[in-house]
Structures are given as C-alpha cells and as structure tokens.
Amino acid sequence: MNSIPRRRVLVCDDHSLLRSILVNAIREVLPNAEIQEAANGERAEELVRKNKYDLIFMDVEMPKQNGLDTISKIRDEKLAEDTPIVVCTGCKGETALVRGWQLKVDHYITKPFDLEEIERVIDEIKWRGFSAV
C-alpha cells in the first residue's frame, strides 16, 4: 500500500490560459499532486481558509483582490504561515518584488514561465523540506 502523502497545490491566476499552462507544468513535476485553482485573490483566500496547501502559486495583478493583498491577509492571519508561496508575475517593477519579500514569499517567477523554471522552483522548495513525491 502506498503511504506517500498527496501534495495539495493552489494555483491562483485570473487568466485561465496562463493558469492552465501553470497547472500542466506543475503536473509534469508533481504528477500526484491535487491541484486546486482560483481565478482571483478573493477566491484564493476562501480556499486557503478551508484547506491546507503544501504549495501556493499566486499571480500579482488580479481583479477583486490582488495577489500581494491576498498573501498579506493569509500570512497575517497565519492561515498559511509555513506554506511556500511562489509569486507569478508579468510585472518587472521593483515595488512588487520588494513587497513580496516583505510578505515572506518564497520565490518569484516571471511570465511567461516554462517547465524548467517551474521545476527549478519546486526543486528548491523540496530542498528546504517540501517533499514533492
């Protein structure tokens, strides 16, 4: 009997195509992961309140509630204080980067991303204790 825990991953991006690309890339690296999706920060916050995730990918610019505000809420309320968070952004500005580090995000990836970048980020997170098997 296989006793390896199934990892739970949350992917939050308002662009359905980019969200789908990211989900497929994660499935390549973590084939047994349970992946949930959210189209905005408000929905991501709801899901984090109801579920425990092993890894969160969060877009920055989204309607209703942007990713950095969502991260701030879930970190402040200790809803995902130990969960690695990867910020996915098309922004090249320093402001989002600085705010993300203040919120203790674990990694940044810039859009467009590729499988190698997703794999590298997950491998780095695994090295720090997250088991992706």
Q: Domains plus CATH for the chain?
A: 8-125 (3.40.50.2300)
The reported pLDDT for the residue numbered 132 is: 44
Which residue type sits at 25?
A
The reported pLDDT for the residue numbered 101 is: 60
The reported pLDDT for the residue numbered 113 is: 80
Return the beta strands (E) in 60-101 as ranges. Answer: 85-89
Structure tokens at 83: 């969960």
CB-CB neighbours of 21 under 10 Å: 18
Identify the three-state secondary structure at position 53.
coil
Structure tokens at 19: 């969200």
11, containing H or E segment: strand 8-12
The reported pLDDT for the residue numbered 1 is: 44
Predicted structure pTM score: 0.85
Average pLDDT for runs of 10 along the chain of length 133: 71 94 91 95 96 93 88 91 86 60 75 84 72 44
The reported pLDDT for the residue numbered 105 is: 77
Closest CA to 41 of 16, 68, 7: 68
The reported pLDDT for the residue numbered 91 is: 63
